[in-house]
Structure 1
Amino acid sequence: MNTTPCDILITNIKILPAAGEKIIEDGFLATRGGTIKLMGPMASMPAALSAAKTIEGHGQLVMPGLINGHCHAAMTLFRGLADDLPLMTWLNDHIFPAEAASVNSEMVYCCSQLAAAEMILSGTTTVGDGYFLEEAAARAFCTAGLRAVAAQGIIDFPAPGVPDPSLSIEAARRYLNALPTNDLLIPALFCHSPYTCSPATLLSARELAAEYNCRLFIHVSETKNEVLEHQKLHGLRPIEHLRKLGFLAENTVCVHCVWPDSSEIAILADSGCGVITCPESNMKLGSGIAPVPAMLAAGIKTGLGTDGCASNNDLNMWGEMDSLAKIHKAVTLDPTIMPAPVVLDMATRGGAAALGLNLGTLRPGMAADMIIIDLQQPHLTPFYGPDLLIYALRGAEVRHSIIGGKLVMENRQLLNIDIKAVMAAVNRLAELHNQPLGEGDNGENDFGQDAGIKKH
């Protein structure tokens, strides 16, 4: 009898094909060559399927992997370093000096490995990351098997790897040219913000992103004071200013967008750009609550991110979804707003759309990016449907992770990362960081010096 080969076969499992869709109660799913080959009810599974790897899925659910649309993976080193501070105090007095003393290629690689491990362990299969020396982060993601849109940072003052800010665009071009070809790795650019990048820098970055047809990220309208200061300096609100410059386009990803007014929401929608909201970071820094319902109603491609764990303090997308759903209910006094299927869609298909990826759905022919969740838990019993995942899942229930058709976690064991070694390496870096200034400084950069950033 002729057989139908597949790489991974999952049997006797609940399947959630996409947010808001009906669960296949007793199903199978087969992958081949990085994509989903077949799926459906067990009763329809071909008898001739032959798999290199079979996963018995009784009591479990398979669903699309989560997409963390905005992260600074290397900042795991600064987790808990400076809590309970306003954004500009946090940046200018703590984070920028810490980065000046600590950031180099080894730090970015090790700390991005730790971030990748944390994300995979809690169900993230794709990350939109932005930092300096991003080639080291990209290498860490490739090692881990994590899909990534990896963006090189651009800023108008000395930064790791680019001590002369006038060379930041040239360095970004070198990054785009040098990043290795990989099915899971997509290069991108990341302008820090309109208050740390001049109009000339923003325009140059826009031109470079257009030339390479890559995503262009930017933090914008994160705090109320940022908007007020921008109006004083430029006579326009930040998003209005970005439109005037021609910065906004379909490949632009605007991060945070906590304080856009109705006209700016219309600008974002008209531009076709994506937005990533980071509710826990915005809450923790006291920045505010992004008008997500209004942005969704305007048709903006809106995804969800954790931000860096220095301002979160974890990289758990389940926590983001729970926070996003509940905070809007609280402030509007409307329990029907931001329902669970909408929030899950933002963490899957919405994030994919914002990042320019065709992900977030389990269908034959789609990329085999998925997670398998153990439903046999007290806090998931009884299981009436996937809404419970948003309000009760913690991340540790994710048993297996498949990215690009390859197992990267099996029975909660990371297959590509020695997590104990990575944690030990990051702890050593933390010990160096805690030394008095000068003892652990490698002298590679003066990050944050002469930043010229107003304390908003």
Structure 2
Amino acid sequence: MSRRACDTLIRADRIVTQNDERTIIEDGGIAIAAGRIAAVGPWMEIDAAWQGETVMNLGRSMVLPGLVNAHTHASMTLMRGLADDLPLMEWITQHIFPVEQKLTPELVRLGATLACCEMARTGTTAFYDMYLMEQAVAEAADATGMRAVVGEVIFSFPTPAYANLDAACDVVRAMHDTYRNNDRIRTAVMPHAVYTTTPELLTRTAKLAEELDIPLHIHLAETTTETAQCMEKFGKRPVAYLDSLGLLSPRTLAAHCVDLTDDEIRRLAETGTRVAHNPESNMKLASGIARVRDMADAGVVLGLGTDGACSNNNLDMFAEMSTCALLQKVATMDPTVAPAQQVLDMATRGGAACLNWPGIGSIEPGNLADITALDLDQPGLMPMYNPASHAVYAASGGDVRMTMVGGEVVYRDGAFPKVDYPALLAEVRSAAAWVRKQFEGNGK
């Protein structure tokens, strides 16, 4: 019997499919055609049935679905390590916002390109991004081969991208028109948070998301301070406030969701609102610990995100998985909470659901070929008994040896095929001098 043609064949020691059965294949193979997974199974079966134009033998590697970063601000890589060790409201209003008002599209694009390289290097293939001048982020993601949902952050005050709410909505519409037929870049409506918007703004953005039939993303219930401010200004807690304005729905992804009551958790589940959990950022800013077990038990769809590199300070989703699992155990004083498989699900299948992007988050026929591979010969990954445990508790982004998006390699063994990495580093070093000057001028 003749073999069917495909673009790429991958062979690896272990394949963690993350399919419905969570099948793990030893000495496995994946056939990739036209950017999608054509077949996955034991290598002998795949090799017998498929002829690859390229054969990628990864040997002692564990292949997983590409990780999905469900909430980040990619361009904040340029501010990594500045304005550390501050509470959220002081950090964002006194140090971050003033510098962001001086950013240019070129700087935003540069920071996003660096972020895309960092994410590809550490096994992430798709991310949900909210920032200023987001068109530049979309361009960076597209140029580096990453998959992304992007959206211009909308505040109740002017930014370098728009003067008022009408202009902000025009920016969103223009981005949607630009990327409506792009295979890897999608758009969303992104009001920033309850404390930086107005009821009119939130209502308008909800209607805009419905009009364009795209997702909506917002920071929600991140701190007790946010709750107090919302109560004082609007007479409701943040979840109830958004609910009263019609913003809780299956198209909504809420980031953080730290300060929640039992009733609020139930309401998020009832409305189909999804949640991006950001444990490292929440820890660094002392925002609190999200109730992951209670949200999961209530049926809330959960993803995992790094937040921006200015409040984390990395975009490594393997580190985020480990932190998520360990933090939940000590918060509840129950070692069975947030088991490895559940956390791996959050970073793959849950992330795909948060992005509203069917076809990613698992390795199975018909899905997009978004894949990453860990080097199992690294000393910290030897020996291996439970692949999910290794992915969550033992691995780091530094163990990644290959990442591909839609069947195209975006990182392999120290190289970024689509990026002039030395030139990028030179640009980043130059930009860092400008960033430092802005922070020093702001009294930091």
Query: Given the two structures, how large is their TM-score scaled by the length of structure 2?
Result: 0.95
RMSD: 1.8
CA deviation string 1:5-60 (max 9, x = no partner): 11110125311111772421111111000111111112323535221211113211
CA deviation string 1:339-390 (max 9, x = no partner): 0000000000011112111221111111111111110111111111111221
Alpha-carbon spacing, 1:44–1:175, altered in 2? closer, same or farther (3 Å): closer
Which range moved further: 48-57 or 121-130?
48-57
Counterpart position of 2:269: 269
CA deviation string 1:38-86 (max 9, x = no partner): 1111232353522121111321111101000001001111111100000
Query: In the alignment, is the contact (CA less than 8 A) between 1:130 and 1:189 conserved in 2?
Result: no
Out of 412, 419, 425, the position equivalent to 1:423 is 425
Counterpart position of 1:190: 190
Counterpart position of 2:157: 157
CA displacement at 1:331 relative to structure 2: 1.6
Residue identity matched to 2:379: P
Query: In the alignment, is the contact (CA less than 8 A) between 1:13 and 1:56 conserved in 2?
Result: no
Residue identity matched to 2:36: T
Counterpart position of 2:381: 380
Count of matched residue pairs: 439
CA deviation string 1:242-286 (max 9, x = no partner): 111111111111110000111111111111111101000000000
Query: In the alignment, is the contact (CA less than 8 A) between 1:4 and 1:48 conserved in 2?
Result: yes
Q: What SS is found at the alignment partner of 1:434?
A: helix
**Distance (whole Å) between structure 1 residues aligned to residue 440 and residue 16 of structure 2:** 53
**Distance (whole Å) between structure 1 residues aligned to residue 30 and residue 405 of structure 2:** 14
Query: In the alignment, is the contact (CA less than 8 A) between 1:135 and 1:179 conserved in 2?
Result: no
**Distance (whole Å) between structure 2 residues aligned to residue 438 and residue 93 of structure 1:** 12
CA displacement at 1:433 relative to structure 2: 2.6
Counterpart position of 2:167: 167
Residue identity matched to 1:326: L
Query: In the alignment, is the contact (CA less than 8 A) between 2:274 and 2:300 conserved in 1?
Result: yes
Alpha-carbon spacing, 1:436–1:345, altered in 2? closer, same or farther (3 Å): closer
Counterpart position of 1:252: 252
Counterpart position of 1:452: none
CA displacement at 1:180 relative to structure 2: 6.0
Alpha-carbon spacing, 1:259–1:48, altered in 2? closer, same or farther (3 Å): closer
Counterpart position of 2:398: 396
**Distance (whole Å) between structure 2 residues aligned to residue 51 and residue 87 of structure 1:** 51
Task: Give the unaligned 5+ runs of structure 1.
Answer: 442-456
CA displacement at 1:173 relative to structure 2: 2.2
Task: Within 5 Å, give how 1:57-456 maps onto structure 2.
Answer: 57-101=58-102, 103-165=103-165, 167-179=167-179, 181-358=181-358, 359-386=360-387, 387-435=389-437
**Distance (whole Å) between structure 2 residues aligned to residue 293 and residue 437 of structure 1:** 39
Alpha-carbon spacing, 1:59–1:222, altered in 2? closer, same or farther (3 Å): same
Q: What SS is found at the alignment partner of 1:353?
A: helix
Which range moved further: 375-384 or 39-48?
39-48
Residue identity matched to 1:383: M
Residue identity matched to 1:405: G
**Distance (whole Å) between structure 1 residues aligned to residue 322 and residue 143 of structure 2:** 30
CA displacement at 1:170 relative to structure 2: 2.7
Q: What SS is found at the alignment partner of 2:377?
A: coil
Q: What SS is found at the alignment partner of 2:163?
A: coil
CA displacement at 1:300 relative to structure 2: 0.9
**Distance (whole Å) between structure 1 residues aligned to residue 304 and residue 411 of structure 2:** 23
Query: In the alignment, is the contact (CA less than 8 A) between 2:222 and 2:257 conserved in 1?
Result: yes
Q: What SS is found at the alignment partner of 1:47?
A: helix
**Distance (whole Å) between structure 2 residues aligned to residue 437 and residue 184 of structure 1:** 34
Q: What SS is found at the alignment partner of 1:400?
A: strand
**Distance (whole Å) between structure 1 residues aligned to residue 439 and residue 410 of structure 2:** 39
Counterpart position of 1:449: none
CA displacement at 1:165 relative to structure 2: 4.6
Q: What SS is found at the alignment partner of 1:414?
A: coil
Query: In the alignment, is the contact (CA less than 8 A) between 2:344 and 2:391 conserved in 1?
Result: no
Query: In the alignment, is the contact (CA less than 8 A) between 1:274 and 1:355 conserved in 2?
Result: no
Counting aligned pairs with the same residue, the percent is 40
CA displacement at 1:166 relative to structure 2: 5.1
**Distance (whole Å) between structure 2 residues aligned to residue 174 and residue 438 of structure 1:** 35
Which range moved further: 151-160 or 113-122?
151-160
**Distance (whole Å) between structure 1 residues aligned to residue 407 and residue 438 of structure 2:** 47
Q: What SS is found at the alignment partner of 1:413?
A: coil
Alpha-carbon spacing, 1:135–1:9, altered in 2? closer, same or farther (3 Å): same
Counterpart position of 1:32: 33
**Distance (whole Å) between structure 2 residues aligned to residue 150 and residue 302 of structure 1:** 19
CA deviation string 1:128-160 (max 9, x = no partner): 011111111000000110000111111111112
**Distance (whole Å) between structure 2 residues aligned to residue 48 and residue 242 of structure 1:** 53
Query: In the alignment, is the contact (CA less than 8 A) between 1:70 and 1:304 conserved in 2?
Result: yes
Alpha-carbon spacing, 1:196–1:418, altered in 2? closer, same or farther (3 Å): same
Alpha-carbon spacing, 1:376–1:263, altered in 2? closer, same or farther (3 Å): same
CA displacement at 1:432 relative to structure 2: 1.9
Query: In the alignment, is the contact (CA less than 8 A) between 2:132 and 2:153 conserved in 1?
Result: yes
Task: Give the unaligned 5+ runs of structure 2.
Answer: none
Residue identity matched to 2:56: I
Indicate yes or no: 2:20 matched with 1:23: no
**Distance (whole Å) between structure 2 residues aligned to residue 12 and residue 184 of structure 1:** 26
Query: In the alignment, is the contact (CA less than 8 A) between 1:68 and 1:306 conserved in 2?
Result: yes
**Distance (whole Å) between structure 2 residues aligned to residue 147 and residue 364 of structure 1:** 19
